[in-house]
Amino acid sequence: MENYLVAMAVFAGLYGLMALGLNVIWGMTGMINLGLVGFMAVGAYTSALLTVRHAHWPMWAGVIAATIVSGIAGAVVARITARLKGDYLAIVTLGFSEVVRLVASNEIRFTNGTDGISAIPGPFRGEVAPATFNLIYLGIVAAALLVVYLLCQRLRHSPYGRVLRAIRDDDQVTSVAGKPVLRFKTEAFAIGAAITGFAGALYGHYNAYIAPEGFVPLITIYIVLSLTAGGTGTNAGAVVGAALVVAFMEGTRFVVAEIPGLAAVQVAAVREFMIAALLILVLRYRPQGLFPERHARHATPDTTP
Amino acid sequence: MTFLATRRAVTAGLALSPLFAPSVLRAQGEPIRLGTLMPLTGAGGPYGPSMRKAVEGVVESVNSAGGIGGRRIQLYGEDSQTNPDAAVRAARKLIDVDRVSAIMGTWASAVTTAVAPLAWESRTMLFTVSGADSITQLPHRGYIIRTQPNSTLQITKLSEFLGQQGAKRIFILAAQTPFALSNKEILEREMPKYGGQVLGQTIYDREKTVFRSEVDQALRARPDYIFLNGYTPDVTILLRELFRAGWTGGKVAPAYAINQRLLDSLPADVTNGAVTWAPSPDIESPAFKRLQALLGTNDPDPYSCQTNDHAALAALAIAKAGAATGDAIRENVRKIAQGAGERVTEVTEGLRLLAAGREINYAGASGACDFTDNGDILTCPFRYEQAEGAKLKTIRIS
């Protein structure tokens, strides 16, 4: 049981990292990104290709390269979609993630196609017991999450973060105030994508195996749900929301197992229903998420003569 | 206080209820824990429920016959959601919380490959129906058993059949798929054993609507058999264009490409003589007939036949070992599935013989269940059919 809880904490941490990445892009800057899993795939593949398939770099180098490459991919996507907003941006980014998946499926010589890449190294994997490996990895993910969280907090409370939120609320006003909106948007997208790619690389090294089928929009939905449930715009919300989504997904396994008289397929269906119902309940009673953004309000000056 | 009394009564009732069950149900000792990881939702959703039922059938018959050495089988199950990410979390739960000694019935190849490292690291046996050749090439140290024929076995069987049909010169028209190239290489390796050869292969884009130049390339090589390694839509067009070009030689395609839908959409003149082949359950086996009754269908799908065998193999290996660990299954599964022992097709009969100290050789609904050292099945029945008057006629099953 402990081993399982540790493994789920690792998943929650990795989802939390991706939710922090999405928070920079969507929560702070207001760009809807449904292609998150594409950046995760770019990160996971970059590190896997460099540490096992095409070269044998040390893991830390692979993870750093993954962060940089996915950041560049984010900047490129941001530039291409510079004129798009709202639903249009959402569709194009969703398309981006599908393109990444299809390239990974079809560039067989480069990515090993649908067979995926296995035997991706993990720190001390095979040298220590599986339970110890899990604990080591939890330590790594927790440290990574803490560092990224603090960086995101710094970003959010800096003047830079204020510009991002100004763009989110009204990019024309921001532009009139003399801020280079396109540059800020590109940078925010690149930062968010880099964090997501970083999480993707850690995901690959943890699971030891990645394949195109693993990077389907389902994961994007998990992350969007995490951020929505936690509170769009706040970093604490992103992390707590991810933990909550994993807790819902895993906790329901034990609840449905207690319902007597259900066939296996009904158990699976009831479980999905319960996850959905729990999330709906959270958003019904906390529409702004568990940790909504607090706005510092200044008293409106009295303009009556 | 009424509430408390009621609750106490209910608890007492629950605790006592096994005492009223027939004595055979009260097998003693710590239960044997087995797990299933089937696709109950997602792309594999149509297959999962019946695969699970096939496992439950075996577990029920073992438990109602008194369990294994007096221990009941407790079956745990999770949904793989046909997604590697979800499947890894589900497998963690089966391994770490339910402490199962075997996971049965992983379907999608990506799911199996993602779950495999967890299985071998935690010394849990993994029984799978996935077909990708790469799975048994993983460094699994014997913890994977696969009942689905891999593509090497499928093409080897095709070569054997073509050889017996007297095919000497074969040309391949293949859709662009992950297995197009490897299939050609296997056919090139196998055909010389029967005095034949592969003249060449043209790979085409499945989305095209005209294949005139591909057909011309095939005919220019002067083959006597053309292997259409594609899917229904493109094979439909290819058959029509071969007919227009006056082709009268042999044509062969996988059974999932030339199906009844294709035969209904083309004139019989175009499809007559086309041959299909596919792995088949062992339909003559008593195990298959029992599975028909259990699932309430005349035509159980191959995956359910295989998971039925997964459960039987796990139960028999545990009985042979006298221990219910993944290692015990790994070390004993081949001792009860192959060799000189008495042929057994039913799990409780096998348990009885093992208890009497006899050797057994299990063969189930999916076939002989004999495995190579790396976990692939040695062979399984294949069904060969030929189109005649817009219907498929079985030539043979072997």
Q: Could you tell me the two tokens for B7?
A: 């609750």
Residue pair A45/A210 in contact (Cβ under 8 Å)? The answer is yes
CB contact under 8 A, A1 and B52: no
CA nearest to B137, candidates A207, A119, A212: A119
pLDDT band at residue B284 using 50, 70 and 90 as cut-offs: confident
Q: Answer yes or no: do A207 and B52 touch at CB < 8 A.
A: no
How is residue A166 written in tokens?
């100004």
Express each pLDDT in A102-130 by its tens digit. 899 888 888 988 888 988 999 998 889 88
pLDDT band per the 50, 70, 90 thresholds, residue A260: confident
Give the E-state strand segments of chain B in sequence order: 32-38, 73-79, 102-106, 125-128, 144-146, 169-175, 197-204, 225-229, 250-254, 275-279, 342-344, 360-362, 382-388, 391-397
Map tokens 């499926």 to a residue: A105
pLDDT of B104 reads 97
Query: Does residue B151 have a pLDDT over 90?
Result: no
* Distance to chain B for A268, nearest Cα, Å: 6
A119 — contact with chain B (CB < 8 Å)? yes
Q: Where in chain B is the domain with CATH 3.40.50.2300?
A: 32-151+283-362, 153-281+381-397
Measured between CB atoms, does A189 come within 8 Å of chain B?
no
Residue A147 to residue A198: CA distance in whole angstroms = 12
B3, pLDDT greater than 80? no
Residues in B touching A247 (Cβ below 8 Å): none
Which chain A residue is nearest to residue B121, measuring alpha carbons? A130
Q: Selecting from 3.30.420.480, 3.40.50.2300, 1.10.10.10, 3.50.50.60, what CATH number does the domain B153-281+381-397 have?
A: 3.40.50.2300
* Interface touch B113/A116, C-beta < 8 Å: yes
> Under DSSP, is residue B89 helix (H, G, I), strand (E, B) or coil?
helix
pLDDT of B206 above 90? no
CB B41 to CB A3 under 8 A?
A: no
Interface mutation target, options B36, B81, B95, B97, chain A, most CBs of A under 10 Å: B97
pLDDT for res B10: 45
Determine whether the interchain pair B83/A218 forms a contact, defined as Cβ–Cβ distance below 8 Å: yes
Segment B69-88 shows an average pLDDT of: 93
* Strands B250-254 vs B275-279: parallel, antiparallel or unpaired: parallel
SS3 B145: strand
What is the helix (H) or strand (E) element at residue B295, kind and residue range? helix B286-295
Q: Which of B40, B122, B132 comes nearest A265 by C-beta?
A: B40
pLDDT digits (tens, 9 = 90+) for B321-338: 999 999 999 999 999 999
- Helix/strand/coil percentages in chain B, nearest 5: 45, 20, 35
Q: Yes or no: say if B317 and B327 are a contact pair by the CB < 8 Å rule.
A: no
Kindly determine whether residue A4 and residue B114, on different chains, have CB atoms separated by under 8 Å.
no
The values of phi and psi at residue B124, to 5°, are -115, 140
Q: In the structure, what pLDDT confidence band is assigned to residue B20 with cuts at 50, 70 and 90? A: very low
- Give residue B28's pLDDT band: very low, low, confident or very high (50, 70, 90): low
What are all long-range contacts of B17-25, with beta carbons under 8 Å and residues at least 24 apart?
B24/B64, B24/B65, B24/B66, B25/B63, B25/B64
* Angle (nearest 5°) at CA A65 between A62 and A66: 85
Supply φ then ψ for residue B394, to 5 degrees: -70, 125
Q: Are B277 and B252 in contact (CB under 8 A)?
A: yes
pLDDT above 70 covers what percent of chain B?
Answer: 93
What is the SS3 assignment for A287? coil
A258 vs B: CB within 8 A: no
Q: How many residues does chain B have?
A: 398
Q: Annotate A65-130 with DSSP letters as a single string.
A: HHHHHHHHHHHHHHHHTTT--HHHHHHHHHHHHHHHHHHHHH-HHHH-GGG-B-----TTBTTB-H
* pLDDT tens for each residue of A166-225: 999 999 999 999 999 999 999 999 999 999 999 999 999 999 999 998 999 999 999 999
**What one-character DSSP code corresponds to residue B134?**
G
Q: Which residues of B touch A114 (CB under 8 A)?
A: 109-110, 132, 178
What's the rounded Cα separation, in Å, for the pair A139 and B339?
49
B89 → closest Cβ in A8, A209, A265: A8
CB within 8 Å: A108 and B178: yes
pLDDT per residue over A59-117, tens digit each? Answer: 999 999 999 999 999 999 999 998 888 899 999 999 999 999 989 988 888 898 888 89
- Average pLDDT on B53-71 reads 94
What residues of B are in contact with residue A213 (Cβ under 8 Å)? 83-84, 108, 110
> Taking Cα atoms as reference points, which of B187, B186, B183, B233 lies closest to residue B211?
B233
Sign of CA dihedral B228, B230, B231, B235: negative
Q: Could you tell me the fold of the domain covering B32-151+283-362?
A: Rossmann fold (3.40.50)
Is residue A138 within 8 A of residue A10, CB to CB? The reply is: yes
Question: CA dist B202 to B198, B276, B348, B397, Å?
Answer: 12, 20, 51, 30
> Percent of chain A at pLDDT above 90?
77
Minimum-distance CB partner of B113 among A209, A218, A269: A209
- Residue contact B41–A8, C-beta within 8 A: no
pLDDT of B9 strictly over 50: no
Name chain B contacts of A211, Cβ cutoff 8 Å: 84, 110, 113-114
Sorted by sequence, the CB contacts under 8 Å of residue B11 that are 6+ apart come out as none
β-strands B275-279, B225-229: how paired? unpaired
> What stretch of H or E contains A156?
helix A130-157
Helix (H, G, I), strand (E, B) or coil at B106: strand
Q: Which of A14-28, A144-158, A216-230, B164-178 has the lowest mean pLDDT?
A: B164-178
Q: Which residues of A touch B88 (CB under 8 A)?
A: 207
Which uninterrupted H or E stretch holds B261?
Answer: helix B260-265
Q: Please report which helix (H) or strand (E) contains residue B63, including its range.
A: helix B48-64
CA-to-CA distance for B160 and B367, rounded, in angstroms?
18
Question: CA nearest A12 in B: which residue?
Answer: B89
**DSSP-assigned letter for residue A295:** P
Helix, strand, or coil (residue B30): coil
- The answer to whether B114 contacts A214, with C-beta atoms less than 8 Å apart, is yes
Over the range A186-197, which residues count as b (16 or more CB within 10 Å of their CB) and which as e? bbbbbbbbbbbb
Q: Which residues does chain B have within 8 Å of residue A107's beta carbon, measured at their own beta carbons?
A: none
pLDDT given for residue B19 in this prediction: 43
* Residue in chain B nearest A247 by alpha carbon: B89
Say what the ipTM of the complex is: 0.89
A135 touches chain B (CB under 8 A): no
Report chain B residues whose CB lies below 8 A from the CB of A128.
Answer: none
Note whether A8 contacts B92, CB cutoff 8 Å: yes
Nearest C-alpha of chain B: how many angstroms from A213?
A: 7
Separation CA A89–CA A84 (nearest Å): 5
Chain B residues in contact with A249 by the CB 8 A cut-off are 89
